[in-house]
Amino acid sequence: MAMHERRITCPHCWELIDVLIDPTESQMYTEDCFVCCRPILIHAKIDGEHIDVDVAQEDLGF
Ligand SMILES: [Zn+2]
């Protein structure tokens, strides 16, 4: 299955960035913001066709 592109808001600098979500399973991972280079904790919850994405500052968590 193709990766799903999702636009999120960086919790550090509030810029919009695009991340790729694997739609086959729920996942939590860290990705550096392309704009401010700080780590973003990304939690993607996969529920059938529905993909719900939460983001948080890595040092704060959810
Ligand atoms: Zn940022």
DSSP string, 1-62: -PPEEEEEE-TTT--EEEEEE-TTS-EEEEEE-TTT--EEEEEEEEETTEEEEEEEETTT--
Q: What spacing in Å lies between the alpha carbon of 61 and ligand 1's midpoint?
A: 16
What's the pTM value of the predicted model, to 2 decimals? 0.88
Q: What spacing in Å lies between the alpha carbon of 16 and ligand 1's midpoint?
A: 8
- Asked if residues 40 and 54 have their Cβ atoms less than 8 Å apart, the reply is no
pLDDT of 3-41, one tens digit each? 999 999 999 999 999 999 999 999 999 999 999 999 999
Q: Where are the domains of the chain?
A: 4-57
Q: What spacing in Å lies between the alpha carbon of 57 and ligand 1's midpoint?
A: 10
Q: What spacing in Å lies between the alpha carbon of 39 and ligand 1's midpoint?
A: 8
Confidence category of residue 62, pLDDT binned at 50, 70, 90: confident
Q: What spacing in Å lies between the alpha carbon of 10 and ligand 1's midpoint?
A: 5
